[in-house]
Amino acid sequence: MDWRLLFSTFGLIFLAELGDKTQLATFGIAAAGRSRWAVFLGAALALVATSAIAVLLGEAVSRVVPQIWIKRAAGLVFVGIGIFYLMGRA
């Protein structure tokens, strides 16, 4: 197991998820619901499922597209989203 990769992935995803729409939706569901454990398990399973999809697709794409181009494309997407938000269109 690559512990450095595990902890850096955890840290990045943990920070990225703080205060995002998923966390706010989970907060709202938990506030309105009767079972905090059901909300926790549902949210945790959803995050695990979406992460599994991302890992599988990432592995498949990396077999065809060189990693440098994947990083560049991801960077451009993030810059584009940032510009979109800065222009007040979101």
Q: Which two tokens stand for residue 10?
A: 């955890």
Contact yes or no for 10/20 (Cβ under 8 A): no
Spatial neighbors of 23 by CB under 8 A, at least 6 apart, are 17
> Phi and psi at residue 33, in whole multiples of 5°?
-90, 175
Query: What per-residue confidence (pLDDT) applies to 26?
Result: 92
Global pTM value = 0.70
Query: What per-residue confidence (pLDDT) applies to 18?
Result: 83
Name the region of 24 (left: φ>0; alpha: ψ -120 to 50; beta: rest).
Answer: alpha
Q: Alpha-carbon distance 48 to 10, whole Å?
A: 12
Query: What per-residue confidence (pLDDT) applies to 21?
Result: 85
Q: How do residues 29-73 score in pLDDT, each as one tens digit? A: 999 888 999 999 999 999 999 999 999 999 999 999 999 999 999
CB atoms within 10 A of CB 42: 14
Q: Considering the chain, what percentage of its residues have pLDDT values greater than 90?
A: 69
Mean pLDDT of all residues belonging to the chain = 91
